[in-house]
Amino acid sequence: MSLQLAVRLDAELYRPGDPVTGTIEVREGGSSRTLEALLEYVEETEDYSSVATSIASGPLHTGELTTGMSFAFALALPADALPNFGGRHGKLYWQVDAKADKRGRDAHERCQIRVDSAQRP
Amino acid sequence: MTTGVSKWQKFRRTGHVSWQANPMDALRRKMTTGLDLEAGQDEVRRGDELQVRVTVSRPEQLGDVELGLVCTELYDVETASGGDDGGTSRSTSTAVAHELWQPVPGVEGTHGVRLHIPSSAPFSYEGLCLSYRWEVVARGRRAGKLDARATRRIQVIA
C-alpha cells in the first residue's frame, strides 16, 4: 500500500502573524526518509501553479511511518502575510503541505487554509 | 536614396521595439497633451479612498472626460503551438478584474476626485503565473476617434 497522510488543523481562520497548528496523521503507513510540514503561499491559474512563499517546520519524524502515527506541527504565518484571494482566472491561497520525502515520488497531503487580511485598527 | 526603417516597421518585423510596446499607446500619449492626472498617494489599502487630481488643459480636444480605477489580472495559460506535434507554449493573458469609471467635468482646470477601492477587490500582486496590477486612468472619450488617455500605476495593499 502507498503512504497516505491526513492533515488536521486546529483553527479554520487565520490572520497574518497567527500560528498555524495541527496534526499530521498517517492513514496508511509506508517507507519514508523525512516527514515535515510546509506552510505555502500558492498562486494558481487554470494551467499553472507556483509556490511564492514556503515556510518549513523542519523534520517532524525520520524513518518509516506506520499507520496510526500522528505528529503535531506549528508554523507561523508571516506578520506581513498576504491574504487569500480568488479571481476569475486565478487564485492566491495559503496551504499546509504534509510532505514525506521518500524514494521515488514524495507523498503529499495538502490542505488549504483561510487567511484574511490583518484586522484594521 | 536609402529607405529608412520606421519604428513601426521595425515593430512589425521584430515583434518589439525597445521604446514602445504598442504604437497605439504612443499615439494616445501624443493626444493626451490636454489631460493629466496625479494620485495623492502611491499606495492605498483596500477599503480606503484614493484622492486623484485630474487636470484638463485643452477641453476642446478631449470630448467627454472620465476617470477610472482599473485592475488588470494577468494569468498564464497553456496554448497550442499550432504545429502537428501537438506542442504547447506558455503565454500570459489579461482580463479586467475590476473597473469603475466616473465622469469628470470637461472644463479647463484641476478637478479633485475621490476613488474608492472595494475591500473585496484584488490587491496588487506580481507573481510568476498570476499578477494583479492597478492603475488610475483618465480618458477623453471621443466618438469615432482614439481616446486620449493618461495613466498612473498605484499599489493596492491588502
Q: Record the cell numbers describing residue B134, joined without a space.
A: 492597478
Q: Per-10-residue mean pLDDT for chain A, 121 residues long?
A: 92 96 97 98 98 98 97 97 97 98 95 87 54
User: Does A82 contact B123 at a Cβ distance shorter than 8 Å?
Assistant: yes
Q: Where are the domains of chain A?
A: 4-114
In terms of DSSP bridges, do strands A13-14 and A107-115 run parallel, antiparallel, or are they unpaired? Answer: parallel
Number of H helices, E strands in chain B: 2, 9
- Name the pLDDT band for B32 (thresholds 50, 70, 90): low
Task: Write the DSSP symbol of residue A67.
Answer: T
CA distance B26 to chain A (A): 29
Cα gap A68→B36, rounded to integer Å: 67
Q: Record the cell numbers describing residue A101, joined without a space.
A: 520525502
Query: What secondary structure does DSSP assign to B48-112, as a single string?
Result: SEEEEEEEES-GGGT-EEEEEEEEEEEEEEEEE-SSTT--EEEEEEEEEEEEEEEEE--SSEEEE
Cα gap B70→B151, rounded to integer Å: 10
What ipTM was predicted for this assembly? 0.90
Cβ-based contacts of B90 with chain A (< 8 Å): 47-48
User: Does B75 contact A90 at a Cβ distance shorter than 8 Å?
Assistant: yes
Contacts of A97 (CB under 8 A, 6+ apart): A37, A38, A39, A40, A108, A109, A110, A111
CATH class, A4-114 region: mainly beta
- Name the pLDDT band for B15 (thresholds 50, 70, 90): very low
Output the furthest CA–CA distance in chain B (Å, rounded).
62
Question: Chain A residue with minimal CA distance to B132?
Answer: A87
Chain B residues with at least one Cβ partner in A under 8 Å: 46-47, 73, 75-78, 90, 93, 95, 97, 122-123, 125, 127-130, 132, 158
Question: Chain A residue with minimal CA distance to B94?
Answer: A89
The model's pLDDT over B35-83, given as tens digits with 9 standing for 90+, comes to 899 998 889 999 999 999 999 988 887 888 999 999 999 999 999 887 7
CA distance B101 to chain A (A): 20
Cα gap A92→A42, rounded to integer Å: 6
Handedness of CA B127, B130, B136, B139 (dihedral sign): positive
Torsion angles phi and psi, residue A54, rounded to 5: -140, 130
Q: Is a pLDDT exceeding 70 seen at residue B13?
A: no
